[in-house]
Every structure is written in structure tokens, then in C-alpha cells.
Chains A and B, each alone.
Chain A
């Protein structure tokens, strides 16, 4: 089991969701986050005081998958979120020690999908 964490541009969320659904990955958690990568932030001005390069809005996806779904998930996110310029985001894949479905008490791979 792996946990796929993706940080993407907010306006690409719908496209990424569509790509994920196309490869049968339907369960995910989505959060609004702020981030700073190679893409420069935008200077903000409040009553004349400048604040350089603030953090930019991003969207984070947390998707728990079984091994067979790891590569399809990565390519689906890449396909949906890609524009080719800095700021497109990143995908992290980490090992997942356990997964429990609260309603049934199921554990492990069967609890993921």
C-alpha cells in the first residue's frame, strides 16, 4: 500500500479528478494549502507597504492506493496537472503501514478501494 500525495495548481483539480476517475481511482482527500516552490510568489501591497513573494494557493490530494494502482495514479495526476511550466506541482509517494475502514473494521488492501 502506498500513500500518494500530490500538490497541484488549484485550477487543475477538475482535470486531475477526471483523469483519476478514468483509471478507477475514486477515493481521495482534497485540501487547500499554501506553498512555495520554484515558482515565484506575487508581491502584495497593503497601504504602501510591500510584501515580497507571498505563498501561493495550491491544492493537495491524499490518495491511498494498492500497489497495482500506484503508477496509474501517478500518470493520471501528471496528465491532468501538467502545463509544462514551473508551478505545476509535485507528487510524493510514501509507504503506507496500515489502512482501516471505520464503518466495517476491515484492514489493509481491502479497506483502501
Chain B
């Protein structure tokens, strides 16, 4: 056991929690109308409560427990049985098993929370709760098992996903798109964004996401070592490049560099560098950031408007598109010279890795989309996913939470 590694992973776990609350909560909360801001904060907060328990009771065992044919973990680690202060033999071997489990819990928490952006302002709270637990159990846990469990079938093929491009961002991004399509547009949505009610919240939340993301990416080294530092550098420069790219492209295309655009671009860069940060050089990371900024801009500002689906806060446009690109970016830019546990990507002569990454993307898209469709239909039949029209008009804060965020008159 290494005390430096342990200290870093415990700290990184807290940083990843900060990404969901208050980071993501305020990032999304600022983007909705004033009548729905509490519903967003509540959804983000309750996800932390619910998934922390789901993960402890059985989620961790499904994802990381002893594998049944590479498909899913068995329930040997239910209620954290056999998980303790001693290091695991397979995961984070220099830190307490508890520390690894907690770090992974924060990933399991933020992933379903990312989808909130797609169905913001129109999902029933009760349906949301049931859906989130089902989704975490039947989409996230299996996918995490396939890619990150030592015996997972995708891990066995040599799939590389350093900090969760596939498991976190592609899974939630694709599911977000499916949910936005199934749920339909918000009332009055006319293929144009509904104006955000508090952009300073969004900038604050976005900045906290960037800050917390160092725990997410550099923490995924599971040690206070050179690889963690390398992942941190890649994360920083890719994010910077993506934010700057969006601002410049938007300036050229629309006449003004906007703060919302710059923050959104930066998040796109964070997403794209997530699977790659432990495998690529700083110069490659800059290129990945540049391309991510450009691709997310195209997805959100150009393509979404033409297709007309209402992904309220662009969960798909940023996390889906950024995550898919980032996973391919590993296949392009990875260098065994950067990380000996990695591989050489296409640009460094490795054709095989690129093909494996492509397979990874296809599997994640098909699995996440199909399961989300099934779970949506199930919950929609039993509870009904969408709020009544009247409730949507009055707002989710008053109708789902019985609170209002702001008083106009005391």
C-alpha cells in the first residue's frame, strides 16, 4: 500500500463528486428557464443519493465483481462483502479497495446525471428516479464491466478507455439522444434554443467541471505518479484548445465569441480527452481538443437545428459526439511510448487499435441505445415519463418539488 497513491485517489474521488454537485448541477441549472432550475439541481443531487446506495448494495459487484463469462459481475461483492481497507489484487493494487470502490462510485453517479441535459424541463420526477436506477443497473454497470473489469470481454479485446470516454460519455450521450427523441420536444420549442436563465451559473458550473475533471482523468491513473501528471497535462491543453476553438469558430461563423460557447467547447474538449488522456502526448492532446471543439460546434450549432430534435442542454451534442470522437482519437493518437500499457494508434502505425476502438464505439452505441429504448418504454408504460402539459407550463420546480427558486416579491 502506498500512502501517496491513497491520498491522491481519495482526493480525486472527492473531485469527481464535485463534478456532479455542484458542477454539472449549476452548468445545467443555469441553462434552463427560471421555473425549472430547482428540478435540475434536485435531479443532480438525488442521483448522488440514489446511485451511492445502488453502487454500495450491488452496482459495484455487478461492474467490478468476479466476472461471469466477461458479461457481468456476480453478486459476491454485494453490500461490499469482501471489499475492505486492504488493496484489491486486481484494481489499484497500491490503494485500499475501499478507495478504488469510492472513486468508481463517483463515475457511476455522474454518468446518469449527464443525461439530465437531454430531458430537462419535461420529465416527471418519479419516472426519473425509477429510470435512473434501472439505467445504472442495466446499462452502466454492464458496460463498465465489459470495458474495465479485468475479465470484461471488451477489455480482453484490448479496448482502451483511460477514464471513461465509452463507459461514461458515449453511453450517456447516446442514451440522451434516444431519450430526447422518445420524450419529444419541450412545449413551444421551435428548433431554436430556449434562452438560458442564468449564464453565470453555467460558467461557474462549467469551471467546476473542469476543476473536478482533473480527479476524473488524472485520478484514473489510480496512483500519484507520472502517468497521473501526464493525464493532467493532456486534460488541461485539450480543454484549452477546445474552448478556444469554439470561441474562434463561433466568432467567424456568427460574429461574436460567446461565453456559453467557450464553456461548452471546453466541456467538449474534456469529454474527448477523457478516453485518451493516459495514452497521448501533449501535442496530440491539443489536436484532439481542436477537433473536439469544432465537431461539438457542428453537432450543436449546425446539425441539431437541421434535425430538429430537442436535446435541451446538448447532452448528446457534447458528451455523445465528444465521447465518440475521443474514443476514435485513442485509436489515432495513442503512443505506446507515452504509456506502456497503451498501444500505438493509426498515426503511429497501429491499425489494430483503431479497429478495436471502432468496435468499442459500435458496441456501446447499439447497447446503450437499445437498452435505453426498452427501459424508457417500460417506465413510460408503468409511470409515464413526461409531465402533464399544465405542469410543464407552470414549471417543474413548483409542480414536482413544490418550491420556487427565486422570489419576485417577498
Residues of A within 8 A of B (CB): 9, 11, 14, 32-34, 42-46, 54-57, 85
Q: Which B160-219 residues have a C-beta within 8 angstroms of A?
A: 187-188
Those 4 A-B pairs whose CB atoms lie nearest each other, nearest first: A42-B398, A45-B402, A44-B402, A34-B408
Q: How far is the CA of A34 from the CA of B398 in the complex (A)?
A: 14
Tally of chain B residues near chain A (CB < 8 A): 13
In the assembled complex, which residues on chain A have CB atoms less than 8 Å from the CB atom of B393?
9, 11
Residue of A45, A54, A57 with most partner-chain B CB within 10 A:
A57
Q: How far is the CA of A54 from the CA of B409 in the complex (A)?
A: 11
Residues of A within 8 A of B35 (CB): 57
Collect the chain B residues with CB atoms within 8 Å of residue A32's CB. 408
Smallest Cβ-Cβ distance to A54: which chain B residue? B404
Residue pair A45, B394 in contact (C-beta under 8 Å): no
| Cβ-based interface call for B13 (8 A) | no
Please tell me which one of the listed residues A11, A33, A44, A85 contacts residue B404 in the complex, with CB atoms under 8 A apart.
A44
Instruction: List 19 A-B pairs, Cβ < 8 Å.
Output: A9-B393, A11-B187, A11-B188, A32-B408, A33-B408, A34-B409, A42-B394, A42-B398, A42-B399, A42-B402, A43-B402, A44-B398, A44-B402, A45-B403, A54-B398, A54-B404, A55-B409, A56-B394, A57-B35
Q: Within 8 Å CB of B409, what residues of A? A: 34, 55
CB distance from A81 to the nearest CB of B (A): 12
Q: A33-B408, A85-B390 are in contact. List 15 more A-B contacts (CB 8 A).
A: A11-B188, A14-B188, A32-B408, A34-B408, A42-B398, A42-B399, A42-B402, A43-B402, A44-B404, A45-B403, A46-B403, A55-B409, A56-B394, A57-B35, A57-B408
**A55 to chain B: which residues have CB within 8 Å?**
409
